[in-house]
Amino acid sequence: MIHNGLDDIIVAATVLSDVDGAAGQLVIRGHSLDELAGRQSFEQVLHLLWQGFFPDLPDPAALTARLGTARAEVYAATAALLPQLARRPVYDAMRAGAALLGDGTTLDDALRLAAAPAVLTPALLRLQAGGTPLPPDPALGHAADVVRMLGRDGGAAALDTYLVTVCDHGLNASTFAARVVASTQAGLMSSVLAGLGALKGPLHGGAPGPIITMLDEIAAEGDARRWLERAVHDGERLMGFGHRIYRTRDPRADALKAAVAKLPKSAGRLAFAEAVEREALAVLAAHKPGRVLQTNVEFYTALLLEAVGFPAEAFTAVFAMGRVAGWLAHAREQALTGRLIRPQSVYVSEEQVAA
Ligand code: ACO
């Protein structure tokens, strides 16, 4: 029997996170998302995820300082090449910058990789906008430093909530890719690059950029129901809706919506997005009555990152700033406890494929 898409196939035991698709609950190392998002900093959750996977992991305060140092190290290692990298789309350039870091397995290797998307993305965006990069300030918190490196003022708490909300999520496609590479005993950079490759696609981490396009087109047309019905009728997928695991609302959507609501000047855009969401859910219910297609994490991600000041083309790179914490923990867990991942395929004739 072929398990196309590997639905319901269990290939790893993990202490890191649990996604309960029926109940709509996400647990990260024993804590519900509600206990973490907006309450714990990204660095505290990084500490939670990495416990037991690095023998020299310091306490959360020292880890926060070490992550600041790692940001400075990433900048020093990549600054000379950034103008050249900035000619590529920001996600590809960020990934190429991360590939300049070492492929080791130590805590310092992991910290530099965890820092890489956070340092490279704002620097590349500033170069692409004709400006100059702002070097990291190791004394700041991670999210606050990202906002500062972007040249923005405000939104650090919302970004911190976002990074925590997306830090880990079971065996999603990018985490699985990272674990497959880790199972070969390749270094941590190779696992992160695998994760970055998988995250890029619109069915995974590439959805929030197109959500802004969707919202803008709907605003211009002035009739959400008509726009959404036409898109579904044309066979398009509505970005920000549906999920492989959740059969109810994605709990991350509400965590992010709450963070957006706290941002100044977001009320009008939030009210508009809520109205579009209501229409989209009605259109999807009519389109696929037998399938629960609910709002996923990406819908309010788009709103939050837009309000913090990121351009839509950078949203997936910002997703990587958070998810890299989980990839690195999973890569260590896989390398320490797992077995080489090597599934089977069935050999078929061309005629069978065509049939
Ligand atoms: N809009 C319209 N139709 C949809 C949507 C959607 N957003 N999602 C699923 N469907 C339809 C599919 O076309 C399919 O119809 P079919 O049976 O006639 O072919 C049916 O619902 C089931 O779709 P599947 O592909 O089996 O659903 P799956 O669970 O594999 O897909 C996925 C999940 C990829 C997220 C899908 O819902 C989707 O494409 N959503 C839009 C993209 C998106 O929001 N991606 C971000 C996901 S969250 C994350 O990865 C961080």
Q: What is the DSSP string of 332-343?
A: HHHHHH------
Nearest ligand 1 atom, CA 166: 51
User: Does ligand 1 have an atom closer than 6 angstroms to the CB of 247?
Assistant: no
pLDDT at 354: 87
Look at ligand 1, atom 6, and give the residue with the nearest C-alpha: 237
Taking the C-alpha atoms of residue 203 and residue 93, their distance in angstroms, rounded to an integer, is 21
Q: By the 8 A CB rule, do 331 and 53 touch?
A: no
pLDDT score of 7: 87
Give residue 266's pLDDT.
Answer: 87
Residue 17 has pLDDT above 90, yes or no: yes
Closest residue by Cα to atom 45, ligand 1, is: 203
Q: 67-71, 150-154, 276-280, 349-353: which has the minimum mean pLDDT? A: 349-353
Mean pLDDT of the chain: 96
Whether residue 295 has its Cβ less than 6 Å from ligand 1: no
Which atom of ligand 1 is nearest to 319's Cα? Answer: 51
Task: Point out the catalytic residue in the list 169, 204, 243, 330.
Answer: 243
- Is residue 337 a contact partner of residue 181, using CB atoms and an 8 Å limit? no
- What pLDDT is stored for residue 91 in this prediction? 98
Burial class of residue 349 (count of CB atoms within 10 Å of its CB; 0-12, 13-18, 19+):
exposed
**pLDDT on residue 250:** 93
- Mean per-residue pLDDT, 234-260: 94
- Chain centroid to Cα 58, Å, comes to 25
How much is the average pLDDT of 197-211?
92
Atom of ligand 1 nearest to the CA of 211: 44
Residue of 4, 7, 241 to test ligand 1 pocket, by largest number of atoms within 8 Å of CB = 241
Cβ–ligand 1 contact at 209 (below 6 Å): no
Nearest to 245 by CA among 12, 25, 28, 16: 25
Where do you find CATH 1.10.230.10 in the chain?
209-307
Q: Write down the pLDDT at residue 73.
A: 98
pLDDT band at 113 (very low <50, low <70, confident <90, very high): very high
Ligand 1 centroid to residue 292 C-alpha, Å: 10
Distance CA 71, CA 116 (A): 7
CA nearest ligand 1 atom 25, residue: 244
Distances in Å between the Cα of 184 and the Cα atoms of 9, 95, 170, 339 are 20, 21, 20, 8
Chain center to CA of 263 = 21
The three-class DSSP label of residue 100 is coil
Task: State the sign of the Cα–Cα–Cα–Cα dihedral 153, 266, 213, 94.
Answer: positive
What is the reported pLDDT for 74?
98
Span 217-231, average pLDDT: 97
Query: What CATH class has 31-202+312-337?
Result: mainly alpha
Give domain 209-307's CATH number out of 3.40.50.1980, 1.10.760.10, 1.10.230.10, 3.30.43.10.
Answer: 1.10.230.10
For residue 20, what are the β-bridge partners? 25
Whether residue 2 is predicted with pLDDT greater than 90 in this model: the reply is no
Q: How far is the CA of 4 from the centre of ligand 1 (A)?
A: 15
The ranges of the chain annotated as CATH 1.10.580.10 are 31-202+312-337
Q: pLDDT band at 352, cuts 50/70/90? A: confident
298 has catalytic annotation: yes
